[in-house]
Structure 1
Amino acid sequence: MGDQKRRAGIYLIGLMISVSVAGCGTDQIHTEQAAQVPKQLSGKIVSEVSEVSPSAPAGDDKEITAVETRRFYSGPPHHSPPPVGNKIAYLTFDDGPSNSTRKILHILKTNGVTATFFVIGTETSEGKSLYKEIAAEGHALGNHTYSHDYNRIYKSPEAFIKDASRLDRLLEETVGFRPEILRFPGGSNNQVSRKSGGRGVMSKVTAKVKEQGYQYFDWNVSSTDAAAPVQDKDMIIDSVLSASKGKKRIIVLMHDNTYKTTTLEALPVVIRKLKAAGFRFDKLQKSSFTFQFLEP
């Protein structure tokens, strides 16, 4: 009996020593792993673990939590690179509203596309209805001056602002807001303006426009629908597609004009082919990508 008690005591002592050694080993592993956690992870323990391991039992100590954070951490979200192939097309239509406006709106709606209309001034009830329809369907309204009269608007920076402000007031009365975006008739580098305002007038006008809080937009893709009274449909399509190659952001110049019927014919094809080329569509805002021929 004495030998049995002695053997049992020796076995019990050995078992206690094994448990103690195992516990020390586990503590040492946790301590070493926690020491390897990058410093930048501190302060993000709870929120990140709730995403990484939502099934973890409540009450886990911070060292274990930190190890899990380190294991699944992939960098802060705001440092993530932009999606590959993120191409945006901004379709823009100048000089409306016209008898073509509703047809353009129908094509855009059918294809699920938003666009930007740089409009001029009209006080008719039909014109005002079209301003409202453009805005109601989620498209952007931009200022293209009230008169679109080169001789009037390009006499001086003050003359330009006076004309543009007249359109602003009309749009505010009609749709409830003044546009922050603008396109110069003829573009910011047009040469026709020299006849009324002199050689350097556009530099002065662009500076004045920026001073007044507008963002102005030229274009880096032309549909060429203004190159002829009625441009060939296939020429419009080919011009847009060829000028879009190699670009991630495109601002496409088209026209909202009663007589430009081939623009209407080409538009659905242009949209379909740009989509196939990986473009999505958006409307211009003050903060959007811009392309300017002449910077103030």
Structure 2
Amino acid sequence: MSALDTQHCIPRRPHAWAAWLALSQLAVAIVWWRLGWPWGLPALLLSHALFLVPVFLPRATFYGPVLARLPTAERAAWLTIDDGPSDDTPAILDVLERHGARATFFLVGARAQARPHLVAEILRRGHGIGNHSHTHPQSRFWALGPRAMGREIAHAQQALAQIAGAPPRWFRSVVGMTNPFVSASLRRHGLVRVAWCARGYDAVDADPGKVLRRIGRGLRPGAIVLLHEGAPHGRSVEIVEATLRLLQREGYATVAPP
């Protein structure tokens, strides 16, 4: 696969949404003034939904560009593993080595600081790392304000750069949620937001068969596959290995962009 030019995925206009917000509320005010509340109230609710719904859609580009699939026609997949480093990391690295596979680990900054040797081992074995926030605030990431969001991304970037010797290039939002304040920090740090097109909900589902069926439905050339490590059910290593076997059966090579 040729080198990927993902520069276009770094946000160029991180505040463009603000102009759309102002225009939409002006339109609502005009509708309410001319047609009254029976039309104005639905217009107001619809305008708010247009800005709220993209927050919860991992591949939505309303608040900034996102890479959800590699631009290739080859049967290649980008394996991405979230939420580490964890107790599972060494075993997952062994599994990847047995299968001759490459992956990118999207790491939580605070967890990386606690286990820098695992970050170093990921890199030593030829895999990539990405920024997955500093504290992984799963229940409230979507609602973080500009300062809190900036700290989550910046602190993780700093922690990972200190351990790895170079800053990550990739960012994955927590639970895939992306609010209006993510893109400004991504632009500041030169980060590309990465989503996925194949996922198995392996962070919550301990049944490898169900996980693989979901991943299989999303497989296509250039697929970005989402997996996790350290899941509470304790079967993350098994699921990673089962996914690698699935990719091999389907004739997919694993690639990890630089």
TM-score, L = length of structure 2: 0.65
Query: CA RMSD for the aligned pairs?
Result: 2.3
Residue in structure 1 matching 2:248, options 261, 275, 290: 275
Counterpart in the other structure of 2:210: 235
1:245-284 to structure 2, matched below 5 A, reads 247-257=220-230, 259-284=232-257
Q: Which ranges in structure 1 are unaligned for 5 or more consecutive residues?
A: 1-83, 190-201, 286-296
Corresponding residue SS for 2:100: coil
Q: Which ranges in structure 2 are unaligned for 5 or more consecutive residues?
A: 1-71
Residues 182-230 of structure 1, C-alpha deviation per residue, up to 9 Å, x if partnerless?
00001145xxxxxxxxxxxx133235423541101011111211234xx
Larger mean CA deviation between 206-215 and 113-122 belongs to 206-215
Say whether 1:92 aligns with 2:69: no
User: What is the deviation of 1:169?
Assistant: 1.6
CA distance in 1, matches of 2:257, 2:137: 24
Residues 252-273 of structure 1, C-alpha deviation per residue, up to 9 Å, x if partnerless?
1111115343332232232122
CA distance in 2, matches of 1:277, 1:123: 34
Counterpart in the other structure of 1:219: 196
CA distance in 2, matches of 1:221, 1:172: 28
- Checking the alignment, whether the CA contact within 8 Å between 1:225 and 1:260 is kept in structure 2 is no
Counterpart in the other structure of 1:108: 96
Greater RCO, CA 8 A, separation 6+: 2
- Checking the alignment, whether the CA contact within 8 Å between 2:102 and 2:255 is kept in structure 1 is yes
Q: 1:85 to 1:275 in 2, by over 3 A?
A: farther
User: What is the deviation of 1:147?
Assistant: 0.8
User: What is the deviation of 1:108?
Assistant: 0.2
Q: 1:156 to 1:252 in 2, by over 3 A?
A: same
Corresponding residue SS for 2:106: strand
Say whether 1:117 aligns with 2:117: no
Q: Which runs of 4+ in 1 moved over 4 A?
A: 123-126
Instruction: Give the letter for the 1:141 counterpart.
Output: I
Instruction: Give the letter for the 2:164 counterpart.
Output: V
- Checking the alignment, whether the CA contact within 8 Å between 1:188 and 1:206 is kept in structure 2 is no
1:188-199 to structure 2, matched below 5 A, reads 188-189=177-178
CA distance in 1, matches of 2:122, 2:152: 22
User: What is the deviation of 1:154?
Assistant: 4.2
